[in-house]
Amino acid sequence: MSFFEDQEGPIPFAGSGSDEELAYRYYDPDRIVAGKRMEDHLRIGVCYWHSFSWLGSDIFGHGTFDRPWLDASADPMEAAMAKQDAAFEFIEKLGVRFFSFHDVDMAPEGSTLAESRSNLNTLVERAASKMESSGVQLLWGTANLFSHPRYAAGAATNPDPEVFTHAAAQVRHMLDATARLGGHNYVLWGGREGYETLLNTRMRQEADQLARFLTMVAEYKHHIGFEGTLLLEPKPQEPTKHQYDYDCATVHGFLDRYDLLDEYKVNIEVNHATLGGHSFHHEVAYAVDNGILGSVDANRGDPQNGWDTDQFPNSVDELVPALYEILWGGGFATGGFLFDTKLRRQSMARADLFHAHVGGIDTLARALVIASSLVEDRTLENVKDERYLGWSGEMGRQIMSGELDLGSLADLAVGSDLDPSPVSGGQERLENVVNRAIWSVD
């Protein structure tokens, strides 16, 4: 049975001059950019939850989307199979290589943990054969530790160790499933790992619990020989008032404190960066600089709204600087761009899913090509080299090697009557360099 019968075959690459609506203008998988195929740079993935499991409801209204595979009156396992058929048909027609899912998106929860696991395993085996025949791969798996009421006060950070234990079972099952499907990564997003009020919360106790949980997950990963990368997904708040995995720097400090830096990297989501008061560029640059870049959840927020709108990316300007950092850092290893994106509630038609993904993928593709021209051009790096040149000179070397302490440095300043003169940061000139690349590169 076909769910997307109006879309015949895979979306073609038609070039920037095309007037075909559902065609790629820039996403040309085989095009070589900076020595690598475009598809291998971007590693685009479709997410199961927003695209196939969600009916478009919001806190004020019911679902609006036309999703025949989500028939509430159907048998839950039958419905999960129909959803899987819809997902694979869509991914193949979109022509991308990856997808990601939570345990509960793929299979219905049973009335016991054992039943949930058996449901999951049935659907995972079915997914395995679809992956085999289509060549679609799993970018990452994850367990939903935030929707069920038992997780209202957190999963690993719950005051009740029984909830921690329940979460451990769910993650074990989902790590097994991810390994079975050859997943490239495993993600932990701590949606409820935070607090609503400090009046009832012990932050240090909860941090210790979270670290213990993450340590157990890493040990289990090695125990089963899973080779994917473990990723934490920072987000500052929503649904909780304050989430512990606030942003990349907070996660980095946490991993360092609990000796987990060798085991985890980050999955950066664009809209989470902006919710945290950062730019996406900032979060990516932080992760690249500190060796923790894992993967990206591609989406965008709305500058007028203070929540996670998860819209499809459509701004080349926003993505170019971040892609520049990713390329400069050597690109993704096991990560990719996962479309953790939601249609607007009024985009009810099934075809809207295609329009949204095609536009987002083209935006990423165009940003990649522009960023690569900036890397090649080297103007930005030359400016940085020049700006920090003093640090490879004698004074910089003496300071950083520890040769000079504060007193001897002060003596040196006084003795030589030091009077350094400020130099221009040249910001507008550099913004012009970026814009010229955006305007001229095809």
Is there binding between residue 269 and ligand XLS (CB under 6 A)? yes
CB-wise, 209 or 295, nearer to ligand XLS? 295
Residue (102 or 252) nearer to ligand XLS, CB: 102
Among 245, 310, 325, 362, binds Ni ion (CB under 5 A): 310
The 3-state DSSP class for residue 322 equals helix
281 as an active site residue: the answer is: no
Smallest distance from ligand XLS to CB 242, Å: 15
Select the residue interacting with ligand XLS from 26, 186, 189, 213 (CB under 6 A). 189
Q: Which is nearer to Ni ion, 26 or 335 (CB)?
A: 335
Q: Which of residues 314-333 bind ligand XLS (CB under 6 A)?
A: none
Q: How many residues does the chain have?
A: 442
154 or 276: whose CB is closer to Ni ion? 276
How far is it, in rounded angstroms, from Cα 427 to Cα 261?
34
The catalytic residue among 28, 103, 105, 245 is 105
Q: Considering only residues 66-125, where is the footprint of ligand XLS by CB under 6 A?
A: 102
In whole angstroms, the minimum distance from the beta carbon of 270 to Ni ion comes to 8
User: Which residue has tokens 């985890």?
Assistant: 264
Q: Give me the phi and psi of 243, to 5 degrees please.
A: -100, 145
**One of 340, 350, 370, 372 touching ligand XLS (CB under 6 A):** 340
Task: Tell me which residue of 154, 73, 55, 144 sits closest to 102, measured CA to CA.
Answer: 144
Q: Which residues pair with 187 in a beta bridge?
A: 231
Task: Single out the residue of 190, 196, 203 nearest to residue 156, CA to CA.
Answer: 190
**Binding partner of residue 142 among Ni ion, ligand XLS, none, CB cut-off 5 to 8 Å per kind:** ligand XLS
Q: Where are the alpha helices (DSSP H) in 28-100?
A: 38-42, 48, 76-94
**Least gap, CB of 46 to ligand XLS (angstroms):** 13
Give one DSSP letter per residue of 103-120, joined into a string.
Answer: HHHHS---SSHHHHHHHH
Which of Ni ion, ligand XLS, none does residue 42 bind to, with CB < 5 to 8 Å depending on kind?
Answer: none
Given candidates 28, 206, 233, 362, which one binds ligand XLS under the rule CB under 6 A?
233
Indicate the burial class of 35 (C-beta count within 10 angstroms; 0-12, 13-18, 19 or more): exposed
Per the annotation, the verdict on 357 as an active-site residue is no
If one counts every other C-beta atom within 10 angstroms of the C-beta of residue 327, the result is 20
Rounded to whole angstroms, the Cα distance separating 266 from 329 reads: 14
User: 199: Cβ–Cβ under 8 A, 6 or more apart, which residues?
Assistant: none
Given a contact cutoff of 8 angstroms between Cβ atoms, the answer to whether 325 and 14 are in contact is no
Q: Which is nearer to ligand XLS, 236 or 321 (CB)?
A: 236
- Helix (H, G, I), strand (E, B), or coil: what is residue 22? coil
Is 247 among the residues that bind ligand XLS (CB under 6 A)? no
Rounded to the nearest whole angstrom, what is the least distance from the CB of residue 271 to ligand XLS in the complex?
8
340 contacts Ni ion (rule: CB under 5 A): yes
Q: Please report whether residue 300 would count as binding ligand XLS according to CB under 6 A.
A: no
Instruction: Name the nearest CA neighbour of 58 among 271, 355, 307.
Output: 307
Collapsing DSSP states into helix, strand and coil, what is residue 180? helix
Number of C-alpha atoms within 13 angstroms, CB side, residue 366? 23
For 435, the enclosing helix (H) or strand (E) is: helix 427-440
Report if residue 297 touches ligand XLS, rule: CB under 6 A.
Answer: yes
String of contacts with ligand XLS for each residue 142-161, x by CB under 6 A: x-------------------
Q: From the candidates 41, 102, 272, 357, which is the catalytic residue?
A: 102
Minimal distance, residue 357 CB to ligand XLS, in Å:
16
| 176 sits near ligand XLS (criterion: CB under 6 A) | no
What tokens does 407 get? Answer: 């007193």
Q: Write the DSSP assignment of 347-367 as a string of letters.
A: --SHHHHHHHHHHHHHHHHHH
Q: Residues 236-275 vs Ni ion: string with x where CB under 5 A?
A: ---------------------------------x-x----
Which one of 28, 193, 308, 362 is in contact with ligand XLS (CB under 6 A)?
308
> Using the rule CB under 6 A, is 39 a contact of ligand XLS?
no
Figure out which of the listed residues 173, 192, 235, 300 binds ligand XLS, where binding follows CB under 6 A: 235
- Can residue 297 be called a binding residue for Ni ion (CB under 5 A)? yes
Asked if residue 193 binds ligand XLS (CB under 6 A), the reply is no
The Cα 345–Cα 313 span in angstroms is: 17
Looking at the Cβ atoms of 144 and 209, the one nearer to ligand XLS is 144
Rg (CA), the chain: 24
Rounded Cα distance between 227 and 149, Å, is: 32
Q: Given the rule CB under 6 A, which residues bind ligand XLS? A: 102, 142, 187, 189, 233, 235, 269, 297, 308, 340
Q: Given the rule CB under 5 A, which residues bind Ni ion? A: 269, 271, 297, 308, 310, 340
> Among all residues, which ones are annotated catalytic?
102, 105
